[in-house]
Structure 1
Amino acid sequence: MNEALTRQITELFGVTRSDQELISSFFKPMKLDKNEYLVKAGQACHYLTFIQSGLLRLYVTVETKEVTQWIGTPGYFLTDLSAFLFRVPARWNIQALTDAELLSISFDDYRSLVRFLPRWHEIEKGFIAKCFIQLENRVFQHLHMSAEERYLHLLSHQPELFNQVPLQYLASMLGMTPETLSRLRKKSLG
């Protein structure tokens, strides 16, 4: 069993050790090659994915511009949540920026957990609430923090991204132009 997966399940789902082991058993290994898509906008999203290794980018194309919403890193879950849960076409593209090893649960297996865990709906509600809180925190950062503060926050929490991810993706995720990000980087290094 993957220790990072079970730790995240415990943290996000708030379950006992036996429930955590049961939930973990539904996650199956999956690999994506660099540039391969887990899902494309407009398609069905079949998986809730835990990233074991590699980087995934969640983005949308608006007119001719790509807008990066998030870079998924090892130890975290990633999906187009509304497409996964409500079976609507995905709004987001999820693409591997590097070769990636994933553990994924299919929608059918996710829904079948209620047969094995009678309190699954309560557990799922807590998980979705935590996802919503993470989204609220990101919105708050964009509204409350300056571009420089957002850059410094990302640099202090995930410095490795600056060596692994094209800067235009990071700039988009931070809500700034690549030129602004370059200026902030130069300022912090100089």
Structure 2
Amino acid sequence: MSNFKVNSKIMESFDTLIREHFGSLGPEEMLIIQNYFTEEVLRKNEMFTESGQICTRLSLVQSGILRVYAPAEDGREITQWLSTKNFFVTESMGFFFNQQNRWTIQAFSDVRLLTITKSDYKKLCTEFPKWNEIEKQFIIKCFMMMEDRIFSHLSMTAEERYNQYFERNKELFHQVPLQYIASVLGMTPETFSRIRKRQSQNS
């Protein structure tokens, strides 16, 4: 793991994303937030955080892919999420609630992040009280994403879930093992392969 001073172009992109996620903030407010984030590089297979630990950082993905996964009782690994550019990544139970992580987060490729540590996060909340409201919005967005995933699993067929994910994440189908995507979609590799074959024949 390496840390670097954040360059101005990356910070401009960061500002845009912060405003897209959390609404309009003034230049002085953005400067306060910027000062707490540092650029970080994880090499392929390096751990961001592990199951059973308590996650100590929250990051915005600048490039690369992180896999969020946990072991199942039968020995398989369940891939819960593949985090890519412009997604925030953390282990919520550890970072926000100080409980042991359920999930392991690992760099699938070399990854570049903008990171705030848990200790600096607490300092930011003190220096910039408005961040407490931003935190609430972030947690709400996390729950909304979770609700959307639950709804899609309950209301959509496996093929509909496949098509939706493919349209939103086409590049991932050429970058990660397809069993990871199958797991994210809540289907077996065999079901995923059948759907993929059917889609390729129809295209």
TM-score, with normalisation over the residues of structure 2?
0.89
- Alignment RMSD, CA only? 1.3
TM-fit CA distance, 1:14: 2.4
- In structure 2, what is the Cα distance between the partners aligned to 1:83 and 1:118? 22
- In structure 2, what is the Cα distance between the partners aligned to 1:163 and 1:73? 14
Q: Which residue of 2 aligns with 1:157?
A: 168
* Counterpart AA for 1:36: E
Q: Which residue of 2 aligns with 1:16?
A: 25
Unaligned runs of 5+ in 2: 1-7
Is the CA contact 1:171–1:181 (under 8 Å) kept in the aligned structure 2?
A: yes
Is the CA contact 1:4–1:75 (under 8 Å) kept in the aligned structure 2?
A: no
Q: Which residue of 1 aligns with 2:183?
A: 172
* Counterpart AA for 1:62: A
CA distance change for structure 1 residues 131 and 20 in 2, over 3 Å: closer, same or farther? farther
Q: Which residue of 1 aligns with 2:56?
A: 46
Residue by residue over 1:83-114, the C-alpha shift from the partner in whole angstroms, topping out at 9 and shown as x without a partner, is 10111111100011111111111011111112
- In structure 2, what is the Cα distance between the partners aligned to 1:134 and 1:39? 21
- In structure 2, what is the Cα distance between the partners aligned to 1:131 and 1:11? 15
Q: Which residue of 2 aligns with 1:4?
A: 13
* Counterpart AA for 1:37: M
- In structure 2, what is the Cα distance between the partners aligned to 1:142 and 1:31? 34
TM-fit CA distance, 1:15: 4.1
1:62-141 to 2 correspondence within 5 Å? 62-63=72-73, 64-141=75-152
- In structure 1, what is the Cα distance between the partners aligned to 2:55 and 2:72? 20
- In structure 1, what is the Cα distance between the partners aligned to 2:94 and 2:101? 5
How many residue pairs align between the two structures? Answer: 190
Unaligned runs of 5+ in 1: none
Structure 1 runs of 4+ with >6 Å offset:
none
- In structure 1, what is the Cα distance between the partners aligned to 2:114 and 2:124? 16
Q: Which residue of 2 aligns with 1:181?
A: 192
TM-fit CA distance, 1:118: 2.5
Is the CA contact 1:42–1:90 (under 8 Å) kept in the aligned structure 2?
A: yes
TM-score, with normalisation over the residues of structure 1?
0.94
Q: Which residue of 2 aligns with 1:146?
A: 157
TM-fit CA distance, 1:21: 3.4
Query: Secondary structure of 1:86's partner?
Result: coil
- In structure 1, what is the Cα distance between the partners aligned to 2:69 and 2:196? 23
TM-fit CA distance, 1:8: 2.2
